[in-house]
C-alpha cells in the first residue's frame, strides 16, 4: 500500500491566487513527521514546511501553510498568493519514528504534483 498519496499529477493556478496541493498518508505509527518539498527543474529539493503528528496547530511558513487533518490522514499544502517562481514539482513526505530498524530516519515520498503558475 502507498504510504504517501498525491492524487494530483498536475495543477494550474493563476498568479496571486491560492492553491491547495493534496497529500494523504498511511501509517500506524503514532509518532511521525510530515514534510513538503519543492523541486524546481534544476533538481534541487527545497524544504518548505514540517508538521509533527503531535502538533496541535497547523504549521505555517510565510506563504506556505499545512492543512493537517489527523483523523483523515491528510496533510495538504496551501500556497497563498502564488508567484511565477512557484512553478515546480511538489513532494509530500513522511518520516515514521517508531519504525526503527532499517527504516530509521527514512523519508517516504509521494509521486509529486507539478504546479504551473500562469501570469
Partner 1 sequence: DAGVTQSPTHLIKTRGQQVTLRCSPISGHKSVSWYQQVLGQGPQFIFQYYEKEERGRGNFPDRFSARQFPNYSSELNVNALLLGDSALYLCASSLYPGQNSPLHFGNGTRLTVT
Spatial separation of the C-alpha atoms in residues 50 and 35, rounded to whole Å: 5
Q: Residue 47, interface with partner 1 (CB under 8 A)?
A: yes
Q: Do residues 66 and 76 lie in contact, with contact meaning Cβ atoms separated by under 8 Å?
A: yes
Q: Which stretch binds partner 1 (CB under 8 A): 18-26, 41-49, 63-71, 74-82?
A: 41-49
Cell numbers 501553510: residue: 65
Q: Residue 21, interface with partner 1 (CB under 8 A)?
A: no
Q: Which of 4, 13, 19, 117 binds partner 1 (CB under 8 A)?
A: 4
- Which backbone phi and psi does 95 adopt, to 5 degrees? -120, 120
Interacting residues of 60 by C-beta distance below 8 A, sequence separation 6+: 49, 66
Ranges within 55-84 binding partner 1 (CB under 8 A): none
Residues that bind partner 1 (CB under 8 A): 4, 31-33, 35, 37, 42-47, 50, 52-53, 91, 93, 95, 97, 102-112
Amino acid at each position: 500500500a502507498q504510504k504517501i498519496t498525491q492524487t494530483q499529477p498536475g495543477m494550474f493556478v493563476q498568479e496571486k491566487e491560492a492553491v491547495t496541493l493534496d497529500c494523504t498518508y498511511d501509517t500506524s505509527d503514532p509518532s511521525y513527521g510530515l514534510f513538503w518539498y519543492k523541486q524546481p527543474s534544476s533538481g534541487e529539493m527545497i524544504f518548505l514546511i514540517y508538521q509533527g503528528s503531535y502538533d496541535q496547530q497547523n504549521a505555517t511558513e510565510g506563504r506556505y501553510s499545512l492543512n493537517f487533518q489527523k483523523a483523515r490522514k491528510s496533510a495538504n499544502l496551501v500556497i497563498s498568493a502564488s508567484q511565477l517562481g512557484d512553478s515546480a514539482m511538489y513532494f509530500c513526505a513522511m518520516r515514521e519514528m517508531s519504525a526503527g530498524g532499517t527504516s530509521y530516519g527514512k523519508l517516504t515520498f509521494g509521486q509529486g504534483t507539478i504546479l504551473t503558475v500562469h501570469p
